[in-house]
Amino acid sequence: MITGEDFGRLFRDFQRTAFRLETLSVYDVAEEQEEFAAFLAGEPMGDSWHDSPWVRSMTDLGKELSRVHVLRSPLTDYLRYELAAYPGNITAGENIGIIDLAHQEVNGLPDHDFWLFDDAEVYRMHYTDAGQFIGAELLPGEAVQRYQGYRDIARKYAMPLADYRDQLPRN
């Protein structure tokens, strides 16, 4: 299981592609607590919301970053926050799709998060029940093909973020 700087190294070291499947309705990320509280209070968000420096640090090098978030509406406050932040990631070059299980059934996806790097390494993400990151587990090489299949299913059924946001009820 890797965490911290060892986990961060994965984003510096991949060469071509990184794909993320997200499945949780809440992620408890210490670095986001202040910003999340500001979001809930209706305060304006910082510049990174318009162009994510973290994503740009990879896409400016020609690397492809993509994710699909599998969720179920109605949205949690955290998911509303995350969906509001995603456009800055898209501006920086990330491809983001949404699968809302309240509107469509998708079979064949795992019930856990993972990262697939360069179609060569798969890391299963582990979280507490409250959504705190515990660590990432490198899966054996024979799992890569199965997780490529999960990625392909997720991409097939995902709706572009802009289309998903257009269907959300306005508050």
Task: State pTM to two decimals.
Answer: 0.93
**What's at 94, amino acid-wise?**
E
Q: What is the pLDDT of residue 166?
A: 77
Contacts of 2 (CB under 8 A, 6+ apart): 10, 123, 135, 136, 137, 138
Question: What residue ranges in the chain does DSSP mark as E strands?
Answer: 17-22, 64-71, 95-100, 114-117, 121-127, 133-138, 159-160
Exposed/middle/buried for residue 41 (C-beta within 10 Å: 0-12, 13-18, 19+): exposed
| Full pLDDT tens readout for the chain, 171 residues | 999 999 999 999 999 999 999 999 999 998 889 999 999 999 988 777 889 999 999 999 999 999 999 999 999 999 999 999 999 999 999 999 999 999 999 999 999 999 999 999 999 999 999 999 999 999 999 999 999 999 999 999 999 998 897 776 665
Which residues does residue 67 pair with via DSSP β-bridges, in sequence order? 20, 96
Cα 75 to the center of its chain, rounded Å: 15
